[in-house]
Amino acid sequence: MWTVFEIAINFFQGFLMILFMNRCLPESKVSAWWFDVLFEAIICGFYSLYLFIPLPVSLDNVIFIIPLLYAVITKRGSWPQRIIWTLTLGAIFNIATIGVSSLYEAIFDTTFDQLMEYGEVRLGFVITTNVAITTLVYFIPRIFVKSKAPDFSSSSFFIFIITLVLQIVIAELLFIYQIKNGVNDTYFLIVDICMIILVIMTVLLYEIISQYVFKRHQAEMALQVMELSQKHNTDIHMIYNEMLATQHDMRHRINAAESLLKQSSNVPEESIHELLDVSSEIQNQFITGNAMVDAILTAKKAVMDESGISFRYQPYPLQKLPIREADFCVLISNILDNAIEAIGRMGRKADQKTEIHLSLARSWDMFYIRCENPMDPNTIHIRDSRYISSKENARIHGFGTQYIKHVAENAGGQCHFMPSKDHFTVLIVLPDQEG
């Protein structure tokens, strides 16, 4: 019966470990209930080895590699997040077990070896230890874990990792000293309680800084979006004024042609053609069915012409847009800005030809935006599945791709960034209920 009881307790602790990692790390589509049960069984099997094979107590710390492996396989969080929460899990299990052990040794005047002997005292020790661990596993993620994707610097993560490692090492050294010397002084119980409080304070500090970093990141992104919107509005205003000027000029040309025809019926055809000749600016204009999109494309085409970039546009009627007009325009403008900047970082030769290809299409109830441009693969920087700006201060730049992804996902769509050997492709798929 004792063997069955111990195995059941070990499986329960495996359940607590996997539950803790699931609550503290971002969700993953890779995981499934049977996958969780599999890892819980692996943890149970590792813990149950000592029932049949004599093993050193220190091997208990190796068990936490399994929850870390679980986080890696299920692709939950970044590496620093996985390490921090695995170490927190290890601190909870170790310090809670040592604390309850010190409590029993102080109250019942027993030794650790006596706690390992089957009997009523061990039964109470095992149950009390698991109640303490369950309380902490439930309490810490529920109270502290609010933001699951902090954008810490490497040095900040390193400090938290070192702090948790030191807490585990100190608790383990005190435990070994207590066992070897057979000491059951209440001072050890007080130290263990302080260690638990220290773990909680470390997690609390981690959460406070996470929230601060997350809010600062959101504020920076909002500021960048406002600046981008202002820039795009300026572009639209400029093109709109040019269109008004062109219309005004064209009106005068038509009036002059009419006056010329009224004065004489033998006006040379060349004179009429010269008066009604359409300027190069008019030829650059796009007609999509949406004036704002026309203005954006015209403005970006002018920038590309100045930079010696060819623009190949596959048109599609845009009388109806899949998202708000303002969001759609900022989306298109961001995509083209990123493409122009990527080509600008290539260091191309004077005679090297470059082209940006933008295409729009509808298929059934989905709207597709696809942009492809050449690029230098050395300028692509990815951190935690996120594209980082190649500019000098990446922390205050690089919001373009994030904003594109944000707009697409908020509309219920998808955004895919697909770098290849020397080309970069952006594919956005949006639900189009009115398509």
Q: Nearest Cα to 214, choosing from 26, 68, 28?
A: 26
User: Which residues, given as ranges, of the chain have pLDDT below 70?
Assistant: 28-31, 55-59, 144-155, 182-185, 221, 224-225, 228-229, 231-233, 235-250, 252, 260, 263-267, 269-285, 348-352, 381-400, 433-435
CB 36 within 8 A of CB 57: no
pLDDT at 310: 92
pTM: 0.59
Are 411 and 418 contacting, i.e. CB atoms less than 8 angstroms apart?
no
Strand pairing class (309-314; 354-363): parallel
Beta strands, E only, 320-422:
354-363, 366-374, 381-383, 386-388, 414-419
- Given this model, what pLDDT does residue 145 score? 62
Helix axes 154-181, 186-263, angle to 10 degrees: 170
